[in-house]
Amino acid sequence: MSLSVSLYVGEECVYDANITHNLNKMADKAGIYYALWRPEEGGFIKAFDIIEILENGIEDMKQRPEFYKMFDSENGWGTYKDFLPWLEKYLNACKNYPLSEIYVSR
């Protein structure tokens, strides 16, 4: 199972990516779970709504890599080394398209 995130400007998809659900605990510890998995519950509709949240989570993950690596999936499907670059790409897309609408599929 995976999380798919998409950003749309009108009917045009400007960003689309997916990542394993195995990273949801790591995301929760970084304070970014709702921004990623359940944006509608956090009231996050547009990309600009989650930029600061992602920035803060990424910064914490960079400051404490060993802590976050404790939440790596035992089967290797969902690791810190894969998640951090994925997050950075998503953050960049949010910054490039701040008015885009967030869509998730889980």
Separation of alpha carbons 20 and 7, rounded Å:
18
Share of the chain above pLDDT 70, in %: 100
pLDDT of the residue at 80? 98
Please state the rounded mean pLDDT for residues 61-85.
97
Separation of alpha carbons 55 and 80, rounded Å:
16
pLDDT of the residue at 36? 98
Q: Is the pLDDT of residue 82 over 90?
A: yes
* Mean pLDDT of the residues in the chain: 97
Please state the rounded mean pLDDT for residues 89-105.
98
Q: Is the pLDDT of residue 1 over 90?
A: no
Task: State residue 31 phi and psi, 5-degree precision.
Answer: 75, 20
